[in-house]
């Protein structure tokens, strides 16, 4: 393979956004390809400005968002364990995950359907059985639980740091930090050129655009409209008693009778009980500053009412934080090649990180071999055109 030009750095592949998906893809390419790769990030990963902020994520395989995700989830778990073994770092904590909601909730029904279809271990429990097994819950017969014993918690920032260290060891990989891409241009000799705010330019034959909130504005300048929204999200840590220690309490998702969706984590390494809300949130423009936790009127109260109702033993709020989701209208991912040689990976809608190891492999294959795995078919851009056509 050859570089594109002599007037700016040229590589075979360019990855814009070296967070979850970008760094995962670079890690795969470093080990499976002879191509040269340039990564660009506006900050220095891991950092607080992307989707990997917040220390931990749940890893589930019996998937309430749809059984089509299960093959990716199973491959991801295999790769997470491989990364953990190779790195010597603790990256996955097998706490198990319980999904709780009213009987008949679509999410709970889909969790059970995914487990049946793919032969996954899953214990179905009444609400009072959940409370007896894990006294940190206060549930009755109006609620139902599905416990996945092989699920658990990923340490996201450790993972990003691990990938970055591995990528740095490859002579074919280069990471430029503080490189905020403000424009993409077609290269004079083919491929694409990324123009940075500080004037730097980087060219490549093929590009992965995985820069979160910046994907849609960059593509709009190329006359490609992507249905992506940026949403402010909150999460918080609480003091708690021994019932919530990681050895005693699983990760969880909770759908309330009103339809609100929460997720949470046991007290891991003394950090406290962590909880966030998956739905809702405040819409933001690209680059709009997020107000700090507690400055929106519902930040504290929306958690406190859930704590009071469902979690005896949770004590005072320790601290809260904000992050962002980049959402698609259907909350499935957006992974496609809308222009030749320019792949976009975004719209992970708050549930993408658990798949990052498998998606890094899939995106690496797409960049390097121009081979799109069938597991990615669900995430194409054409589905939005089809829905608009049928609506009209």
Q: List residues with catalytic annotation.
A: 53, 56-57, 274, 278, 323, 354
Q: Is 385 exposed, middle or buried, given 0-12, 13-18 or 19+ CB atoms closer than 10 A? A: exposed
Residues contacting residue 223 through CB under 8 Å, at least 6 positions apart: none
Q: Apex CA 68: angle with CA 211 and CA 365, to 5°?
A: 50
Q: How far apart are alpha carbons 5 and 186 in whole angstroms?
A: 12
48 phi/psi in degrees, rounded to 5: -95, 10
Provide DSSP, 130-142. HHHH-TT----TT
- Can you tell me whether residue 82 is helix, strand or coil? helix
List 173's β-bridge partners, or say none.
37
Beta strands, E only, 69-138: 92-93, 97-101, 123-126
Answer yes or no: are the C-beta atoms of 276 and 252 closer than 8 Å.
Answer: no
Strand order in the sheet with 92-93: 56-59, 152-155, 92-93
CB atoms within 10 A of CB 53: 18
Answer yes or no: are the C-beta atoms of 149 and 121 closer than 8 Å.
Answer: yes
120 phi/psi in degrees, rounded to 5: -90, 145
Q: How far apart are alpha carbons 41 and 38 in whole angstroms?
A: 10
Residues contacting residue 185 through CB under 8 Å, at least 6 positions apart: 192, 193, 195
Provide DSSP, 293-326. TTSSTTTTHHHHHHHHHH-TTEEEEEEEEEEEEE
């Amino acid at each position: 393979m050859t570089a594109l030009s002599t007037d700016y750095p040229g590589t075979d592949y360019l990855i814009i956004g070296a967070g979850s998906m970008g760094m995962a893809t670079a890690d795969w390419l470093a080990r499976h390809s002879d191509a040269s790769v340039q990564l660009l990030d506006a900050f220095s990963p891991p950092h607080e400005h992307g989707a990997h902020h917040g220390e931990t994520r749940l890893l589930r395989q019996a998937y309430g968002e749809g059984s089509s995700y299960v093959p990716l989830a199973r491959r991801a778990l295999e790769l997470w364990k491989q990364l953990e073994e190779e790195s010597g770092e603790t990256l996955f904590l097998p706490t198990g995950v319980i999904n709780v909601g009213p009987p008949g909730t679509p999410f709970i029904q889909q969790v059970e359907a995914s487990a049946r279809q793919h032969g996954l271990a899953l214990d179905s429990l009444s609400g009072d059985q959940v409370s007896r097994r894990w006294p940190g819950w206060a549930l009755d017969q109006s609620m139902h639980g599905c416990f996945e014993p092989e699920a658990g918690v990923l340490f996201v920032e450790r993972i990003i740091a691990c990938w970055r260290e591995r990528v740095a060891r490859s002579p074919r990989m280069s990471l430029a930090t503080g490189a905020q891409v403000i424009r993409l241009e077609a290269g004079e000799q083919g491929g694409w050129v990324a123009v940075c705010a500080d004037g730097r330019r980087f060219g490549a034959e093929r590009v992965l655009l995985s820069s979160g909130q910046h994907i849609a504005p960059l593509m709009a300048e190329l006359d490609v409209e992507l249905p992506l929204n940026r949403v402010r999200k909150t999460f918080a840590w609480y003091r708690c008693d021994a019932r919530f220690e990681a050895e005693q309490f699983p990760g969880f998702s909770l759908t309330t009778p009103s339809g609100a969706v929460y997720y949470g984590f046991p007290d891991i390494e003394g950090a406290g009980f962590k909880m966030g809300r998956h739905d809702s949130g405040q819409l933001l423009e690209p680059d709009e500053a997020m107000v700090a936790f507690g400055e929106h009127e519902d930040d504290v109260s929306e958690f406190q009412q859930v704590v009071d109702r469902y979690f005896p033993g949770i004590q005072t709020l320790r601290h809260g934080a904000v992050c962002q989701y980049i959402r698609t209208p259907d909350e499935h991912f957006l992974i496609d090649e809308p222009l030749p040689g320019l792949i976009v990976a975004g719209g992970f809608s708050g549930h993408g990180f658990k798949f990052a190891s498998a998606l890094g492999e899939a995106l690496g294959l797409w960049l390097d071999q121009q081979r799109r795995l069938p597991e990615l078919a669900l995430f194409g851009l054409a589905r939005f055109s089809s829905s608009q056509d049928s609506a009209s």
